[in-house]
């Protein structure tokens, strides 16, 4: 099969770069090649363009340009947020609280910080994948410096009560960081409105170039840089600025925001119909993880009981559909999901999981055929049909 013959259903792992974003990347690479930190006419033009990109990105999320820190992606952004806050803590306020379903960019950084002596607590979720707020309240105290909870889970699409999380953190005098990598472009996302002090985005999730991201950092926050060596990005991220990458990401942000309301309601209806078609075809042999909670409109996490999800994904791949098994950034791609384990799924049910994540152009016909293939392949793998 050629690339065009595959139907790509793994947008949660990474979206194709939009042509408009590619156009911006090429334009900036050819015209804005001067270092904005130099002192000559072309450098001054590049510096002006850099300021403009901060303004445009800030406008997309309701932030001041000085609150935008461009990074290499979500992983670096999460590390900057966690380490940046904790490096500036004093006295007894040095603890970190994260949820058990965070992306590994947060969880593994939390584990590393714990080994360095930072007190870390892990908040549980309920069976539907939503954070247990009562448990969180019991973990956050006047010794907590930072609470980090994602906006939407990358494996199940389940939305977290980030406004309540922010209040819990702030009532205890702590800062709140939100990994919003999966949510941008699909939901209204203004950190000041839901109380985030820091927020992470990744360009590759909404049609920008890979290797680009940003951290929103409230202007009142004092954080330490992760990468040192120069004064770039307000002193928070050293290194010559990647103007072409920033331009591509910013363009993708603007396009994603402009089409948000017109695209994703339709995709949500298509996703829901696909799930119901699978449930009807495999009654009692399948479960939709997080289905009872509010979710992103494009993600479906499905456990097919008594088979391995990897086997189903291989069959679907041979039939022209590219689906995921969970997080594409997990330490072992075929390991059972830590997210599903936190939701209380057994090892057997978790190992039977696939993740379908649609893009904005998915059609009802494509989703219906995917559902039918899931049913037929399951029956063949189980020897039921």
The CB-side HSE value for 256 (13 A sphere, CA atoms) comes to: 31
Cα angle: 208, vertex 288, 110; to 5 degrees? 55
CB 240 within 8 A of CB 232: yes
CB atoms within 10 A of CB 9: 24
374 is catalytic: no
* DSSP string computed for 248-286: HHHHHHHHHHHHHHHHHHHHHHHHHHHHHHHHHHTTTSE
Q: Which two tokens stand for residue 63?
A: 């932030």
* DSSP string computed for 61-99: HT--GGGEEEESSHHHHHHHHHHHHHTT--TT--EEEEE
**First CA to last CA across the chain, in angstroms?**
27
Query: Alpha carbon of 146 to those of 4, 44, 259, 265: distances in Å?
Result: 45, 38, 33, 34
Beta bridge partners of 95: 144
Q: How many helices (H) and strands (E) does the chain have?
A: 12, 12
CB atoms within 10 A of CB 54: 22
**Which of the residues 322, 329, 353, 374 is marked catalytic?**
329
Q: Which two tokens stand for residue 295?
A: 């979710």
What φ, ψ does residue 144 adopt, rounded to 5°?
-85, 130
Reduced to 3 states, what is the DSSP secondary structure of residue 131?
Answer: strand
> Which helix (H) or strand (E) segment is 199 a member of?
strand 198-202
Cα torsion angle, 137, 138, 144, 150, sign: negative
Tally the residues of the chain: 385
- Catalytic residue ranges: 329
């Amino acid at each position: 099969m050629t690339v065009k013959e595959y139907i790509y259903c793994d947008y949660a792992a990474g979206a194709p770069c939009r042509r408009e974003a590619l156009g911006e990347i090429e334009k900036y690479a050819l015209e804005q090649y001067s270092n904005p930190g130099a002192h000559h006419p072309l450098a001054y033009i590049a510096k002006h363009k850099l300021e403009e990109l901060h303004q445009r990105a800030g406008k997309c999320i309701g932030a001041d340009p000085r609150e935008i820190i461009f990074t290499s992606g979500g992983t670096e952004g999460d590390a900057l947020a966690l380490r940046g806050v904790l490096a500036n803590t004093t006295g007894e306020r040095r603890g970190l609280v994260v949820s058990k379903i965070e992306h590994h960019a947060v969880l593994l950084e939390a584990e590393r910080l714990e080994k360095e002596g930072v007190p870390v607590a892990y908040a549980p979720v309920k069976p539907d994948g939503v954070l247990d707020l009562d448990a969180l309240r019991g973990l956050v105290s006047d010794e907590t410096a930072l609470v980090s909870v994602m906006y939407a889970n990358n494996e199940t699409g389940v939305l977290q009560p980030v406004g309540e999380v922010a209040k819990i953190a702030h009532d205890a005098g702590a800062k709140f960081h939100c990994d919003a990598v999966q949510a941008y472009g699909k939901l209204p996302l203004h950190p000041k409105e839901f109380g985030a002090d820091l927020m992470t985005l990744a360009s590759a999730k909404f049609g920008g170039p890979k290797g680009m991201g940003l951290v929103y950092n409230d202007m009142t926050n004092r954080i330490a840089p992760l990468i040192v060596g120069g004064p770039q990005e307000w002193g928070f991220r050293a290194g010559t600025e990647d103007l072409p990458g920033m331009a591509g990401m910013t363009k993708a942000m603007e396009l994603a925001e402009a089409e948000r309301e017109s695209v994703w309601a339709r995709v949500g209806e298509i996703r829901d119909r696909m799930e119901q078609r699978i449930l009807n075809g495999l009654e009692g042999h399948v479960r939709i993880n997080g289905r009872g909670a509010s979710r992103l409109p494009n993600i479906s996490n499905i456990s097919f009981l008594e088979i391995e999800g990897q086997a189903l994904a291989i069959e679907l791949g041979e039939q022209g559909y590219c689906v995921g098994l969970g997080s594409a950034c997990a330490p072992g791609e075929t390991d059972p999901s830590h997210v599903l384990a936190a939701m209380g799924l057994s090892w057997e049910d978790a190992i039977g999981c696939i993740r379908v994540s649609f893009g904005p152009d998915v059609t009802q016909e494509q989703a219906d055929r995917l559902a039918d293939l899931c049913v037929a392949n399951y029956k063949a793998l189980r020897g039921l049909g």
